[in-house]
Amino acid sequence: MSEQADHQRAALSRRLGHEFANADLLNVALTHRSAGGGDNERLEFLGDSVLNMVIAHALFEARPHAPEGDLSRLRASLVRERTLAEVATELELGPCLQMGQGERRSGGARRASVQADALEAVIGAVFQDAGFEAAASLVRRLFADRLTDLPSADSLKDAKTRLQEYLQGRGRELPRYEIVSTSGVDHERHFVARCSLADAPQTADGEGSGRRRAEQAAARAMLTQLESGHE
C-alpha cells in the first residue's frame, strides 16, 4: 500500500473515531472486489446486519408509539443505498477505496452502490475489531443528525399505498392498474400504466422504466387529481 493510502486511511480512522487494533480489517473493508484477492463482501454482510439492528433499536426508542409498519418505513429510509452513500461521502470514503484501475476510471469510487457497500463493510470491520458496542456507537454517531430529524412515516409511503389509504378512508373501492403500452428494446423497456377508479369514470396515466414505476407514477397522478378536487 502506498504512503498516500496509509495517510488516507489514518485520516479515515480519525473521522470514524475508531483506532483499529487490527488495521488489516479496515484495509479489507475498503477493498472492492475489482482489486482482486480478498475483498470487503463478507464484512459488508456483517455490517449490514449490525447497521439494521442498531437503527431498528434507535427508532424503537425514538418513536415509542409508532406501529411496526411506520418503524419499517423509517428504517428503510435510513439504510437504503442512497442514504448510506451520502454518509460514506460525508466520511470521504471514496478516495480511500482500493479497486481495479478499470473500475476506478469508470467512476466506481463515486458509485452509490460501491460507497454504500463499503460503509457497511467498515461497520462490520469495527464490529470485528472491537465488538458490538463499538460498532453500535459508530452507527449512532454517523446517523445522529438523521435520527434526530426523522421524517413523518406517512411521507415515506409509496404512492400506491397512499392512494389505497386515501380511498379506503372514504369508504371507496380500491383502484385498478393496467399497462396500456410498452416500447423500447428488451433491456430498455418503457411502460405506460393507467390507474382507474372502480366507482368513478376517472383515470390517470404514469410512465416508467418498469411496470412498478409506471404504476407508482399513475397512482401519484391520481392522488394529485383527487387531492386537488378533480373527482
Q: Which residue, 117, 92, 106, 107, is CA-closest to 32?
A: 117
Does 186 appear as a known binding residue? Answer: no
207 φ, ψ (degrees, to nearest 5) = -120, 155
- 39 Rama class: left (phi>0) / alpha (psi -120 to 50) / beta: beta
Does 86 appear as a known binding residue? Answer: no
Task: Please pick, among 48, 86, 215, 227, the residue that the annotation labels catalytic.
Answer: 48
Task: Please pick, among 68, 70, 120, 158, the residue that the annotation labels catalytic.
Answer: 120
Check if 120 is active-site.
yes
Residue with cell 371507496: 172
Check if 48 is active-site.
yes
Residue by residue, DSSP assigns 191-229 as EEEEEE-TTSS-EEEEEESSHHHHHHHHHHHHHHHHHTT
Does 103 appear as a known binding residue? Answer: no
Q: Which residue, 179, 175, 165, 181, is CA-closest to 203?
A: 175
**Is residue 180 within a helix (H) or strand (E), and if so which, with residue range?**
strand 176-183
* Binding-site annotation: residue ranges for Mg(2+): 44, 117, 120
- Residues labelled catalytic: 48, 120
